[in-house]
């Protein structure tokens, strides 16, 4: 593997090296999970000295959290998750493009450290569950947080099923059609039921 270019004429630029390590960590953690990814592999993929991980991040666990945060910032701006349809489209697209990402890996793997699991759960709640719960609450539907958690759990289960090929129809249906169907089904859970006046507590 050749040395990655970290900047024109500046292979040792600190910011570029840090960014290269983050990108490599996102890829490897997403593909292999936290425990099976080594510091050496991350350095090799980034094309920089793996010892720089200690300088820029502290340790592998802290790099994992930084990679999750960086991935979130890159693809999930504060206004992105403005409703169920957008959440569904984003999660299905991200799963198709990257497979199970670091957050999902942290939540489903039995060997995830408690620190990583807590960090991943907090990010998921802050970026996905809470915005959806606020949207549901605005429709005056009861128990908005519970409904949001159920919807997000269903969405992640569906995207994982698609990534791993559990069911042929879910695996093969076009992305936009799957997102639309999921949105249609979950809207019944998250929206004001038909025939009500939206005055529920």
83 with 157, same domain: the answer is: yes
- Give the residue from 75, 106, 123 where a domain finishes: 75
What is d(CA 165, CA 51) in angstroms, rounded to the nearest whole number?
Answer: 38
pLDDT tens, position by position, 5-15: 444 434 458 88
Which residue has better confidence, 195 or 77? Answer: 195
103 with 139, same domain: the answer is: yes
- Give the residue from 44, 59, 75 where a domain finishes: 75
Q: What is the pTM of this model?
A: 0.63
Mean pLDDT of the chain: 82
What is d(CA 133, CA 138) in angstroms, rounded to the nearest whole number?
Answer: 9
Which residue has better confidence, 2 or 29? Answer: 29
- What CATH number does residue 9 fall under? 1.10.10.60
63 with 144, same domain: the answer is: no
DSSP-assigned letters across all residues of 63-132: HHHHHHHHHHHHH--TTT--SHHHHHHHHHHHHHHHSS-HHHHHHH-TT--HHHHHHHHHHHIIIIIHHH
52 with 121, same domain: the answer is: no
What is d(CA 21, CA 44) in angstroms, rounded to the nearest whole number?
Answer: 9
Please tell me whether residue 168 adopts helix, strand or coil conformation.
helix
Task: Give me the pLDDT at residue 171, please.
Answer: 94
31 with 122, same domain: the answer is: no
**Assigned token pair, 101:** 């990402």
Q: Is the pLDDT of residue 180 over 80?
A: yes
What is d(CA 115, CA 65) in angstroms, rounded to the nearest whole number?
Answer: 9
**Assigned token pair, 117:** 């699991």
60: phi then psi, degrees, rounded to nearest 5:
-65, -40
16 with 47, same domain: the answer is: yes
Task: Give me the pLDDT at residue 41, please.
Answer: 96
Q: Is the pLDDT of residue 196 over 70?
A: no
pLDDT tens, position by position, 52-65: 999 998 888 889 87
81 with 34, same domain: the answer is: no
Q: Is the pLDDT of residue 165 over 60?
A: yes
Q: Is the pLDDT of residue 197 over 90?
A: no
Q: Is the pLDDT of residue 182 over 90?
A: yes
Domain that holds residue 27: 1-75
70 with 131, same domain: the answer is: no
């Amino acid at each position: 593997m050749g040395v990655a270019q970290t900047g024109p004429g500046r292979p040792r630029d600190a910011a570029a090296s840090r960014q290269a390590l983050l990108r490599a960590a996102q890829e490897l953690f997403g593909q292999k999970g936290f425990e099976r990814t080594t510091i050496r592999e991350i350095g090799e993929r980034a094309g920089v000295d793996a010892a720089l991980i200690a300088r820029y991040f502290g340790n592998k666990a802290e790099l994992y959290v930084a990679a999750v945060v960086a991935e979130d910032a890159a693809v999930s701006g504060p206004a992105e998750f403005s409703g169920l349809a957008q959440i569904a489209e984003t999660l299905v697209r991200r799963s198709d493009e990257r497979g199970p990402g670091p957050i999902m890996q942290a939540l489903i793997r039995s060997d995830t450290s408690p620190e990583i699991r807590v960090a991943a759960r907090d990010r998921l709640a802050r970026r996905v569950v809470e915005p959806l719960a606020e949207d549901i609450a605005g429709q005056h539907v009861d128990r908005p947080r519970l409904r949001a958690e159920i919807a997000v759990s269903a969405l992640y289960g569906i995207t994982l099923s698609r990534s791993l090929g559990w069911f042929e129809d879910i695996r093969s249906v076009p992305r936009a059609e799957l997102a639309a169907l999921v949105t249609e089904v979950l809207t019944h859970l998250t929206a004001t039921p038909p025939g009500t006046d939206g005055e529920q507590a």
